[in-house]
Amino acid sequence: MSPAPRSVLVLGGAKSGKSSYAQALAEGWGGRLVYVATAQAHDEEMTRRIARHQADRGPSWSTLEEPLDLEAALKRADAPGTVFLVDCLTLWLSNLVLGAELEDGQVSERGETLAALLPSLQARIIMVANEVGLGIVPENTLARRWRDLAGSLSQRLARSCDAVLLITAGLPLALKGGPLPLD
């Protein structure tokens, strides 16, 4: 039997069940559960989504909100017995590209820094990201740029993580690290 993973990347499309699966996986691991939120409530729809996620998690979770400096936030909150659930890397990427207005090289460096941080964490970590490369080629430059950066970030983190799952219709497909039981 292989050792339990310390880092997991959970990929999936919109409404694929990736966040629910990642949450159930984290809860099954036990320990101090820390939800690392990268979303920002810029409109009513996002405010409702955030509230729904908070209600789904319940009181056993603490929340660490960090839209930009994810790496520093993880370092500050790192501790043995902690389980981080980062949801989601795709929004973090949007924050870096649109909010912080980072250039592609700077975004890539941030992804490299995050990937390099994973093995040094005392906590276990589950990271959620949208799989955006399965659809049509976007019609505008910004959307193509963002899709390419998201794909590169997922590839880099997948190389660093112990396990990678693709969630489709709520069902996991282990891409790396074997199946991960929820209980």
Verify whether residue 42 is a known catalytic residue: no
Strands 163-168 and 171-176: antiparallel
Which positions ≥6 away from 50 have C-beta within 8 Å? 37, 39, 41
What does the domain layout of the chain look like in residue ranges?
7-176
Task: Tell the CATH superfamily of the 7-176 domain.
Answer: P-loop containing nucleotide triphosphate hydrolases (3.40.50.300)
Q: What is the pLDDT along the chain (183 residues), one digit of tens a residue?
A: 567 899 999 999 988 999 999 999 999 998 999 999 998 888 898 889 888 888 888 899 999 999 999 999 999 999 999 999 999 999 999 999 999 999 999 999 999 999 999 999 999 999 999 999 888 888 999 999 999 999 999 999 999 999 999 999 999 999 999 778 776
Q: Which of 5, 39, 53, 89 is catalytic?
A: 53
